[in-house]
């Protein structure tokens, strides 16, 4: 838990969010500023600032992180039309919240390359 982290505050219920999934290690919330009809943020409860801070100790957590994202997509039937998963990392990667999260986006067609 990091005192100044908005996602830690959401995980510990000090701040509100629309929670769409929770288990002992993960939480998923609706993005406050959605960029698609479905825009969910999937985060470990553990405060890891950037993916470069992932260590060998987090190996099992990382496997489950993607499993949770895929499970949410599958439970919502998103795989029928497809979806996009995004991790922005660091300043040039466009990361604005320093607590790692997967963006799960769906409900419209996405282009490539990203902006």
Residues that bind ligand 5GP (CB under 6 A): 6, 17, 29-33, 41, 88, 94-97
- Which alpha helices (DSSP H) does the chain contain, by range? 6-11, 59-75
Q: Within 13 Å, how many C-alpha atoms sit on residue 71's CB side?
A: 14
Catalytic residue among 39, 47, 53, 101: 101
26 binds Zn ion (CB under 5 A): no
d(CA 106, CA 38): 5
Active site residue 101: yes
Which CB atom, from 38 or from 68, has the smaller least distance to Zn ion? 68
Determine whether 96 is exposed, middle or buried from the number of CB atoms within 10 Å of its CB (0-12, 13-18, 19+). exposed
Smallest gap from Cβ 87 to Zn ion, in A, equals 15
Q: Which of 39, 46, 47, 71 binds Zn ion (CB under 5 A)?
A: 47
**What single string gives the DSSP state of each residue in 68-91?**
HHHHHHHHTTGGGT-EEEE---TT
Smallest gap from Cβ 32 to ligand 5GP, in A, equals 4
The interface partner of residue 94, options being Zn ion, ligand 5GP, none and the CB cut-off 5 to 8 Å by kind, is: ligand 5GP
99 binds Zn ion (CB under 5 A): yes
Rule CB under 5 A: which residues touch Zn ion?
A: 2, 5, 7-8, 47, 99
């Amino acid at each position: 838990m990091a005192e100044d982290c908005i996602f830690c505050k959401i995980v510990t219920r000090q701040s509100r969010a629309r929670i769409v999934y929770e288990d002992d290690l993960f939480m998923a919330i609706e993005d406050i500023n959605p960029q698609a009809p479905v825009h969910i943020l999937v985060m470990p409860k553990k405060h890891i600032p950037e993916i470069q801070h992932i260590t060998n100790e987090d190996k099992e957590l990382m496997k489950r992180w993607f499993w949770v994202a895929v499970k949410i997509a599958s439970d919502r039937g998103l795989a029928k039309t497809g979806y996009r998963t995004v991790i922005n990392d660091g300043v040039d990667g466009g990361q604005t919240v320093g607590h790692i999260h997967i963006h799960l986006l769906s409900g419209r067609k996405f282009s490539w390359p990203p902006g």
